[in-house]
Amino acid sequence: MESFIEIPEGSYYPLENIPYSTGHVRGGDQAHCLTRVGNTIVDLTFLEQIGILKTEKALFNTQTLNKFMSESREIWQSIRSQIQNLLRSDNQELQSSEHKTQALASLEEVQLSMPVNIGDYTDFYSSKNHAYNVGVMFRGPENALQPNWTRMPIGYHGRSSSVVVGGNVIRPRGQVCPPGGEPSFSICKKLDYELEIGCFVGGKTNDMGKSIDIADAYNNIFGIVLLNDWSARDIQAWEYIPLGPFTAKNFMTSISPWIVTLEALAPFKVPLEPQNPVPFPYLQDPDLFSYDIALKTFLKVPENDNTLISTSNMKYLYWSITQQLVHHTVTGCNMRPGDLLGSGTISGPTEDSLGCLLEISLNGKKPLQLPNGQQRTFLNDGDVLTIVGECKGNGFTIGLELPSAVVLPAVQDKYV
C-alpha cells in the first residue's frame, strides 16, 4: 500500500499498521485521537470534525479512545479502511485538501497522552516458560508449576492509576526480608522489568453476572500494546504470600503509546499448540492463536552502548488472549471498553529469550554479561531500558515501541 505520506524504509508505521493513540497537537489544550504513518501523525479528531473522516456518530470528539473502543469490530474495520484509503497516494481527498496541513503533524509537534481511560488493569501469568522458570527458582523443578497453572490462565488485579505511557521509573523503597532473616525498610535492590503484551478490551462487553463466551472473545479485544510491569523483586518476595503482589508492582506499569489493532496483526497470526491437559469447555477455543511478534529488550548501562539482552516473542504464550479474557469473566466479572489485560512476562524456551532479569540472572546468581566487562543482576540507577516489538510482513514491518526509560534513584528522606 502506497501513501502520499513518506514512509521511511523499515518504518514501524506503514499503511498496514494504522495504530491509535491520543495527544496534544501543536500545543492544543485538548488531546485529540491520532494515528501515525511513517513519521507523520494524522489528527483523526480534526478529520472527523471537518467531515473528511466520516463516522455515523462522533467517535473521536473526546480525549481518549474509549468511545471508539466501545464500538464493534465492524466499525473498527470500516474506520481503518477509510483511514487507509484517505492516506493512499491515489486518493486526492485529503492529499489535495486545504485542510491537509492542519490534519497532519510531525512527531515533534505532538505531545502524546495516555490514550485510554483504563477502568481496570489485570495482569496474567500466561507464559509457561516464565511460570516454570520462576517456579524452579522458588520451589525446585518438581513443583515448579502449581497444579492450577495448566488448568486456567492465572491472573491478578493490578493498579490502573499507575499505568503510564513510557516514562522513567523511580526506584521504589519498601519492606524487604531475606529468607529466614529480619525484615527491614530499604531501597529496592532488585528492580526488574517484565516484558509483556497488553490487550485493550473493546466492543459491547458483558454485564455483571454474565461471562464472555470464548466464541465472542475475539471481538472484545480492540488491540495491543507493549507493557512493562516494573517489579521490585525483593519487596515482592516478602509481601506476596498469601494475597499476591501488591506494592512490589503498583508503583508503575509502562505501556507503548500506539495501540496496534488485531486487524493490523492478522497477517502475523500463528496457531498455539494444543493444550495438555485439555482445558475445560469454557476455555476451549477452536482457533487458539497468538501473534508472531519478536519482542526485543535493549539495556544501556552508563558508559556502554545499547545492548540487545533478549528476544522473546508473543507466540510463546501458553494461554491465548481470548482465553485470558474469558477466564477473567468466568464468575461474572463485567469488563469495560478500555480495560487492560497484561499477558504476564513472556519468556521463550531459550536463554536468550527470557522476559525479565529475575530469569536472566537466576535471581542474581548468574549476572548478565554486557560489553566492556560490565554486568547486571538487576537494574542500576542510570540504566536505560527500551523494548520494541516487530512483525515482519511481506515488504513491510509493523512495530511497537516502548520508549526508553531511565532508572532514577530512590527518594531519600527521614525513613531511609
Minimum distance from CB of 263 to a copy of itself (Å)? 26
Q: Contacts with a copy of itself in 186-225 (CB under 8 A)?
A: 188, 208-211
* Residues 379 and 192: beta-carbon distance below 8 Å: yes
Q: Which of 194, 339, 383, 390 binds a copy of itself (CB under 8 A)?
A: 339
CA atoms within 13 A on the CB side of 123: 24
- 248 lies in the binding site for a copy of itself (CB under 8 A): yes
- Please give the grid coordinates belonging to residue 327: 477466564
**Count of residues engaged in binding a copy of itself, rule: CB under 8 A:** 63
- 406 lies in the binding site for a copy of itself (CB under 8 A): no
Contact stretch for a copy of itself (CB under 8 A) within 16-24, 84-92, 239-247, 299-307: 239-247
Instruction: Give the annotated binding-site residues for Mg(2+).
Output: 229, 249, 253
Residue reference for cell 525446585: 140
DSSP codes of every residue in 142-181: TTSS-TTTTTS--EEE--STTEEES--EEPPEEEE--TTS
Q: Which of 36, 190, 315, 327 binds a copy of itself (CB under 8 A)?
A: 327
By rule CB under 8 A, what string of x and - marks binding of each residue 355-394 to a copy of itself? ----------------------------------------
Residues 6 or more apart in contact with residue 272 via CB below 8 angstroms:
288, 289, 290, 315, 317, 318, 320
DSSP 3-state assignment of 282? Answer: helix
* Residues 144 and 383: beta-carbon distance below 8 Å: no
Minimum distance from CB of 55 to a copy of itself (Å)? 25
- Please give the grid coordinates belonging to residue 216: 465472542
Q: Contacts with a copy of itself in 114-133 (CB under 8 A)?
A: 119-120, 125
Catalytic residue among 24, 99, 130, 157: 130
Report the C-alpha dihedral over residues 264, 268, 269, 273, rounded to 10 degrees. -160
Q: Which run of H or of E encompasses 73? A: helix 73-87
Instruction: Give the annotated binding-site residues for substrate.
Output: 125, 139, 236, 240, 345
Minimum distance from CB of 2 to a copy of itself (Å)? 43
Q: Which of 282, 294, 311, 403 binds a copy of itself (CB under 8 A)?
A: 282
Q: Which is nearer to a copy of itself, 52 or 144 (CB)?
A: 144
**Catalytic annotation present for 130:** yes
By rule CB under 8 A, what string of x and - marks binding of each residue 135-174 to a copy of itself? -----------xxx--xx-xxxxxxxxx-x-----x-xxx
Contact stretch for a copy of itself (CB under 8 A) within 310-318, 330-338, 362-370, 398-406: 330-338
Residues 6 or more apart in contact with residue 70 via CB below 8 angstroms:
202, 203, 204, 337, 338
CA angle 149, 153, 389 (to 5 degrees): 115
Q: Which of 365, 344, 258, 359 is nearest to 309 (CA)?
A: 359
Minimum distance from CB of 369 to a copy of itself (Å)? 29
Q: Which of 328, 346, 353, 385 binds a copy of itself (CB under 8 A)?
A: 328
Residues of 125-137 as b/e, b for ≥16 C-beta within 10 angstroms?
A: bbbbbbbbbbbbe
**C-alpha span between 410 and 307 (Å, rounded):** 25
Q: Which of 281, 286, 373, 395 binds a copy of itself (CB under 8 A)?
A: 281
* Residues 170 and 408: beta-carbon distance below 8 Å: yes
Instruction: Give the annotated binding-site residues for Ca(2+).
Output: 123, 194, 196, 229
Return the active site residues: 130
| Binding residues for a copy of itself (CB under 8 A) | 119-120, 125, 146-148, 151-152, 154-162, 164, 170, 172-175, 177, 183, 185, 188, 208-211, 232, 235, 238-248, 250-252, 280-282, 327-328, 330-336, 339, 411, 414-415
